[in-house]
Copies of this chain bind each other. A is one copy, B any other.
Amino acid sequence: MLVNFNEQAEEMIRHTGGRITSCRVLVLGILLAEKKAISHHEIEERIGDDQPLDRVTLYRILEWLSKKGLAHKVISDDRKWRFRTNIYTGSHQHAHFKCSRCTTVICLSDIKTEYCWPLPPGYRSQEVELTVKGLCAACA
């Protein structure tokens, strides 16, 4: 299973024309095995002590994967970048509500965001991030 992700990772990296290194394969393999976006620290945890990888190298690999379009990064409320492979993009297609007073976030499962939003010609939608902000029942 993990081997499979690593093969896929290697293939994806090869396709970019960039160098295939064990570190890159390892990191991209971890991202492929994950459906949600994960942070630098979470990736380090998944690596464990088996194959030690320098903090800075991991940062640079993540940056490189983003630049090559194999992953993309999103900023979260904890000021950390989280990374996800672009192939799972579109898997979290529902809206959120965030209370601007108590900051609680809930999922608005009634709202489907797969709707085709009108984009300029040539643009391709992968994912829609929709957050309604306001006051929740307790804070209103």
**Interface residues in chain A, defined as those with a beta carbon under 8 Å from any beta carbon in chain B:** 69, 72, 75-77, 79, 81, 86, 89, 95, 97, 100-101, 106, 108, 110-111, 117-137, 139-140
Contacts and interface: CB of A to CB of B under 8 A. Distances in A.
10 contacts: A72-B100, A75-B75, A75-B79, A86-B100, A89-B133, A100-B126, A108-B117, A129-B129, A129-B131, A129-B132
Given A72-B100, A130-B129, A140 B124 contact: yes
Contacts of A133: 72, 89, 125-129
Nearest to A128: B132
Ranked nearest first, the 6 interchain pairs of A and B with the lowest CB-CB distance are A122-B137, A126-B134, A72-B100, A125-B134, A129-B131, A127-B133
Contact of A136 (B81, B122, B129): B122
Contacts of A118: 108, 110-111
> Which of A97, A120, A133: most chain B CB closer than 10 A?
A133
Contacts of A139: 69
Contacts of A75: 75-77, 79
> Which of A76, A97, A100, A121: most chain B CB closer than 10 A?
A100
